[in-house]
Amino acid sequence: MSQARRNIESSESEYWVKLHPAGRDIVLAVCDAELIDETFTEGELSLKVYRDFYGGVLVKEEGLKIHLQRATILNLVGERSVSIAMEMGWVDKENVLKIGGVMHAQAAIMFDDRTGKG
């Protein structure tokens, strides 16, 4: 198997994640690994998956789930990333966009200031 093919196969189970502190919130930018540096368009909509925003560290699914549990604001790109967030209950299917055939979702997890619980 070629090195390029191995890289593609391994990236299919990896995710770029980057934390962005924003006051009391933690913004988590996530994309399926193979989507980094790509641009997707549909009509007037355009989605650029900037390395500066999404390209923190590469993680596998378990690492992604840990990051998702810590964040308060999510920005997700890619079928696998969005699907995991949906499975965890952070994103509803009706709130997912498709831009150029690629899934994109944003979510804010609201916490009660008195209890710290959602």
Residue 115 lies in a domain: no
Q: For the segment 71-99, what is each residue's pLDDT rounded down to a tens digit?
A: 999 999 999 999 999 999 999 999 999 99
Closest CA to 14 of 80, 86, 68: 80
Residue 17 lies in a domain: yes
Residue 113 lies in a domain: no
Residue 46 lies in a domain: yes
Here the CATH number for the domain that contains residue 89 is 3.30.1860.10
Count of beta carbons in the 10 Å neighbourhood of residue 7? 12
What's the whole-model pTM score?
A: 0.84
Overall domain count for the chain: 1
Residue 117 lies in a domain: no
Query: For the chain, which residues score pLDDT lower than 70?
Result: 1-12, 111-118
Residue 15 lies in a domain: yes
Which residues span the domain enclosing 94?
A: 3-108
